[in-house]
Amino acid sequence: MLLGAASALAGTAIPVGMRRSAVARPVVPVSCALVLAVDVSSSIDGEHWWLQRKGYAEAFLHPQVMRAIQDTPKRRIAVSYFEWSGANSQRVIVPWTVVGSEEGGGGIADTLLTGRRPFEGSTAVGATLDFAMDQLTLCPFAADQQVIDVSGDGGNNDGPEPEAERDRAARTNIRVNGLPIDWARSHPPMGMTIGEYYRASVIGGPNAFAMPAVGFDSFGYALAAKLRREIAALPAATESA
């Protein structure tokens, strides 16, 4: 009788939901979920696209950036990196990755230093903010704070304007910071510098800031300084990971 029952159970399919719950992993807590949104529109040529990629890769190998991450409450953050241009042109290059050590930073650097430019085109800042917020909803880690970091060299010329998306992010305590790139081909709205445009129309939320990069030669330095400031704005570490 017991053998028959065991045989019957052996042939019974386990519901999919039960199988999933049996192998579910605990959610990893992180101090911050950081989305890096990087402009690859047509005003940024191939050489300068590469300088951006190289700058982001080097930033995640920078000892002071790693120290800032390890000084946060959870001693780690989650990072996603995507490149953008027009309203329908966004591509995730680095999916959500936990960074709390040199190994994690090196993994992001390795990914950024491989692969080709995905596209070029117009400049859709509003659509970029919308896409970045979607990425935050997909983050598989439990984050104390959510930050979108937008770099770019021009004003919005495709898709929705950024102000409404920026304000939508701020209402949910998402901070939008900016890295405006000021160089010969920058194209902010008439009568504004690219830094003024980012401060007026792009950044928002608690403690948001814009830190301009003057040209691409200093881009890596400006980016590392910005990431240190961004991460250091989080509360200092008070507990073990």
Residue with tokens 């992001």: 108
> Quick one: pLDDT at residue 79?
97
> Would you give the distance in Å from CA 223 to the centre of its chain?
13
Q: What are phi and psi of 122, to 5 degrees?
A: -75, -175
Nearest alpha-carbon partner for 226 in 153, 165, 147: 147
| pLDDT attached to residue 24 | 57
Q: With beta carbons less than 8 A apart as the criterion, state whether 141 and 134 touch.
A: no
Whether the CB-CB separation of 198 and 166 falls below 8 Å is answered with no
Domains and CATH numbers, the chain: 27-232 (3.40.50.410)
Report the amino acid identity of residue 137.
Answer: T
Name the amino acid, one letter, at 185.
Answer: R
Identify the pLDDT of residue 6: 40
- Calpha distance 136→175 (Å, rounded): 12
User: How crowded is the C-beta side of 88, counted as CA atoms within 13 Å?
Assistant: 0
pLDDT along the chain (241 residues), means of 10: 40 42 69 97 91 91 93 95 98 97 95 94 98 98 96 96 97 95 90 96 94 78 88 59 34
The pLDDT score that the predictor gives to residue 1 is 40
